[in-house]
Amino acid sequence: MPLIIGKQTVPDRMIGCWIRRYIQFSNGARETATRVIWVQTASGMGDMRIRADRPALHQCVKLADCSDSELLALAEQDCSCARTVLDESTTPHPTATWPRGNDGFANQPVQNFPEPGWFAWREAGDCMMEWAPSGAYEEEWRLQARSQDFAMHLVRAGATPTTCLYIAGDYAMMARDCSGKAEQKKPLPEIVAARLHSRAAAEMLLDGEFSFARRQNSQSYEIQLSSLPWREGVRIDLSWAVTASGDGAHRTDPDGQIWNVESLRTRP
């Protein structure tokens, strides 16, 4: 799998779309219900953690359509994107860190586990294990089929808010930062609850988007899970991203927006 553009910060075996099978905490409790998806390219990654009991919100088409309680439910979602850097020289396992840099962000102001991760691979690489060095948790991740054929990490040039796209074979994740900023280091539901008297201020903390999509045919991808639930089922054309154009280091989307290719890795 040759690196064509950019800098590779993780080994080939880490690239792909991974779905979490479980997380087990230090007290022995195991949780499997939360929908957790990780799309990893040769450099950047997008990560979504959404509770299974989050309201479907089929009646909504925008945040203004949501009730206060529905906004608070959306505030519980935990999504982030960053660079992944894996140091394979560490013991007892290779150690990953996730520096945000200029194009990484998260919707939650407070991280649940703000520490590096230890990693190991089992079952011919289809199973990836992650441990917190502190012992706080263990996670098991499963590689999705046809997610290692190629991988791209793109960042929209000059965009505000920051917008990133991560593609791993048949899977993609789009991440757009919210327009508002949480100045306090508190859980997002607490901050949103305090701003509900001014709906616009509350909605600005939730108007970002993390959407996970799967390829249906050719270069058409369908959104399967989104932090904005009304986006689920929408099809998006990513042919502009995966087709070489110009100098190779940039792509132009159908709206004429320029995207920088941070990394592109493909099988020969």
CA angle 225, 11, 15 (to 5 degrees): 20
For residue 154, the model assigns a pLDDT of 97
Helix (H) or strand (E) holding 197, with range, is none
pLDDT, one tens digit per residue, over 177-211 is 999 988 888 999 999 999 999 999 999 999 999 99
Query: In this predicted model, what pLDDT tens digit does every residue of 108-150 receive, in sequence order?
Result: 999 988 999 999 999 999 999 999 999 999 999 999 999 998 9
Using one digit for the tens of pLDDT, what is the confidence trace for 4-48?
889 999 999 999 999 999 999 999 999 999 999 999 999 999 999
The distance from CA 49 to its chain's CA centroid, rounded to whole angstroms, is 9
| Cβ 123 vs Cβ 71: under 8 Å | no
Confidence of residue 1 (pLDDT cuts 50, 70, 90): low
Where b means 16+ CB within 10 Å and e means fewer, 31-58 reads eeebbbbbbbbbbbbbbbbbeeebeebe
pLDDT of residue 245: 55
- Which pLDDT score is estimated for 209? 98
pLDDT value, residue 167: 97
Q: How many other C-beta atoms are found inside a 10 Å radius of the C-beta of residue 253? A: 15
How many angstroms separate the Cα of 136 from the Cα of each of 28, 44, 82, 85?
Answer: 10, 25, 22, 21
Q: Report residue 234's pLDDT band, with 50, 70 and 90 as the boundaries.
A: very high
185 Cβ contact list (under 8 Å, min separation 6): 109, 110
- Measured in degrees and rounded to the nearest 5, phi and psi for residue 71 equal -60, -40
Give the residue among 47, 37, 112, 109 at the shortest CA–CA distance from 79: 47
